[in-house]
């Protein structure tokens, strides 16, 4: 199970997810990534952690964030331990960097198995 409300992603531990990502410009229009741009998802337990637990490159051709079951299987779950933070960052071909989803919540629910 995956649920996305605003920028909060809730997923059951061990599940897969395919989430469409959009970049909205300051004028409200959708930014279409160009050749040479890259989009990256990074997940940490705490913002102060030195290294992310998970980094996923989002293909600019689809703008679909694909989270695999093996990515979530290794994460702690539950109402307290299953709380993480993520961001999604655009790096344009010209070097401009924009974290367009900053400090968002990523919640991992317990699985019954």
pTM of the model: 0.92
What is the DSSP pairing of strand 38-44 with strand 83-91?
antiparallel
pLDDT, tens only, 57-77: 999 999 999 999 999 998 999
Could you say which of 3.30.110.40, 3.40.1260.10, 2.60.40.10, 3.60.15.10 is the CATH number of the domain covering 2-109?
2.60.40.10
pLDDT of the residue at 113: 66
pLDDT of the residue at 107: 97
Token look-up 């989803």 returns 101
pLDDT, tens only, 5-44: 999 999 999 999 999 999 998 899 999 999 999 999 999 9
Token look-up 């909205």 returns 24
pLDDT of the residue at 90: 98
Domain range list for the chain: 2-109
The whole-angstrom separation of Cα 75 and Cα 4 is 18
């Amino acid at each position: 199970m995956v649920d996305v409300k605003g920028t909060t992603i809730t997923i059951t531990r061990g599940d897969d997810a395919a989430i469409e990502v959009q970049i909205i410009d300051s004028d409200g229009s959708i930014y279409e990534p160009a050749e040479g741009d890259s989009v990256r998802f990074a997940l940490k337990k705490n913002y102060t952690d030195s290294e992310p637990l998970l980094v996923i490159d989002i293909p600019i051709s689809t703008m679909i964030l694909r989270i695999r079951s093996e990515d979530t299987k290794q994460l702690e779950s539950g109402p307290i331990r299953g709380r993480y933070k993520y961001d999604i960052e655009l790096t344009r071909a010209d070097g401009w960097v924009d974290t367009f989803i900053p400090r968002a919540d990523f919640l991992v629910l317990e699985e019954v198995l």
